[in-house]
Amino acid sequence: EIFRRIAKETDPNKRYEVTVSMIEIYNEAIQDLLIDPSLRPKKGLEVRESKALGIYIDGVIKRPVECYEAIETTIEEATEHRTVGSTLMNATSSRAHTVQIIEFKAIKDGSATVSMINLVDLAGSEKAGQTGATGDRLKEGSHINKSLSALGNVIEKLADRGGEKKKNVVIPYRESKLTRLLQNALGGSSKTIMICALSPASSNHEETLSTLRYADRAKKIKP
């Protein structure tokens, strides 16, 4: 749809740029999935903030695209570099949170208006007893759970602020890279949609209940 709108633009002084980025948050380090894994910095990329850009990832690749097919191809390429591993519950378990960033920029008379879409795929919470995780898998699961806990704390504080409990609530965005990166989406003027995936298995009832509580808190967030 966005490319059709761009094609219909009649103002000769206005031009558009669309770029795609894709990152993963693995063991609390942000890695660019459009870079070969062997060339990535060990400590990952940094999340920074500026008045002009808001929250952004310093040094992330922004690949220009001119059609939906180019977006699809870029995401498929980046997906090949995702970190996955085998556990007792999933042979190809995602070991990181993944964020796809589509940036739209309208430029006219030297000034630019920027809009962004963030598509976030959260890794699932894990119990070591169920996954059989040891070594690296156990460490990965620990980082996943800590970041999900931090996200839960942020959602709870935002829900409190939106209600009548507390008006001057400090939101702990800096508790994790995930919450810091999602700061604009959760606490700004963005429109945010959360889709929760639930297991139909009775053996996963605790995880299902936890996910439903997540969703219940999230829907209480108000601008």
199-215 pLDDT, tens digit each: 888 888 888 888 898 88
146-165 pLDDT, tens digit each: 898 899 899 888 888 766 55
Q: Tell me the C-alpha distance between 83 and 141, whole Å.
A: 13
DSSP class per residue in 83-96 = -EE--SS-TTEE-S
**100 forms bridges with which residues in the sheet?**
22, 119
The 10 Å CB-count burial string (b at 16+, else e) for 107-139 is eeeeeeeeebebebebbbbbeeeebebeeebee
- Residue tagged 């490319």 (tokens): 3
Token reading at 171: 């939101």
- Pairwise pLDDT comparison (123 vs 60), residue with the higher score: 60
Please give the class, per CATH, of domain 2-218: alpha beta
The pLDDT of 49-77, averaged and rounded, is 92
The pLDDT of 171-188, averaged and rounded, is 90
Report whether pLDDT(85) > 70: no
The pLDDT of 71-81, averaged and rounded, is 94
Q: What pLDDT sits at residue 88?
A: 46
Q: Tell me the C-alpha distance between 198 and 214, whole Å.
A: 12
Q: Given pLDDT bands bounded at 50, 70 and 90, which one contains residue 91?
A: very low
94-150 pLDDT, tens digit each: 678 999 999 999 999 888 888 899 999 988 775 645 555 556 667 777 888 889 889
Kindly list the distances between the CA atom of residue 125 and the CA atoms of 62, 65, 190, 206, in Å, as whole numbers in the listed order. Answer: 30, 34, 26, 11
What residue ranges do the domains of the chain occupy? 2-218
**Mean of per-residue pLDDT scores for the chain:** 84
Report whether pLDDT(92) > 90: no
| Pick from 21-30, 43-52, 166-175, 191-200: least confident | 166-175
6-48 pLDDT, tens digit each: 888 888 889 999 999 999 998 889 999 999 888 888 889 999 9
Amino acid at 5: R
Three-state SS at 196: coil
Q: What pLDDT sits at residue 134?
A: 59
Amino acid at 103: E
Q: What pLDDT sits at residue 205?
A: 86
